[in-house]
Amino acid sequence: MNTNPPIFTGFMFGARAKAADLQTEANRQRLSDLRNNIARDVRNAWHDTNRAYERLSVTQQLREQANLAFDLAQSRYNLGLSSIVEFSQAALQKTEADIEDTDAQYQYRLTQIVLAFTMAGPK
């Protein structure tokens, strides 16, 4: 018959309890780190979305100004008061403003998707 009296275990039970406590604390710390990382990622995605939203109004104003400049250049060209170069430059600026506005709208939608994904968290 084999017996293990507690007096001959060399403090094995105390060491096991201490190891379990340390492992529990490590798991708590890891959980806290994950929560902090998720909160940071959500804040960053929120700020990116806000910046993209603010950019929408700026690019819309730029687009409106480019449209006005194009209309003015077209009228001046039709009246013979300016050259084709001025008209072509206004058309190019209008196209660039349209592209910037479309890109801003795309970026805003993309940041909304990233924010929604980040808020959903790990599955």
What is the pTM assigned to this prediction?
A: 0.72
Reported as half-sphere exposure (CB side, CA atoms, 13 A), residue 58 has a value of: 9
Per-residue pLDDT at 8 exceeds 80: no
More confident residue, 82 or 97: 97
Provide the pLDDT confidence category of residue 123 given band limits of 50, 70 and 90. Answer: low
Angle (CA) 56-53-89 rounded to 5° is 20
Q: Which is nearest to 100 in space by CA: 61, 70, 71? A: 61
CB-based contacts of 59, cutoff 8 Å, min separation 6: 97, 100, 101, 103, 104
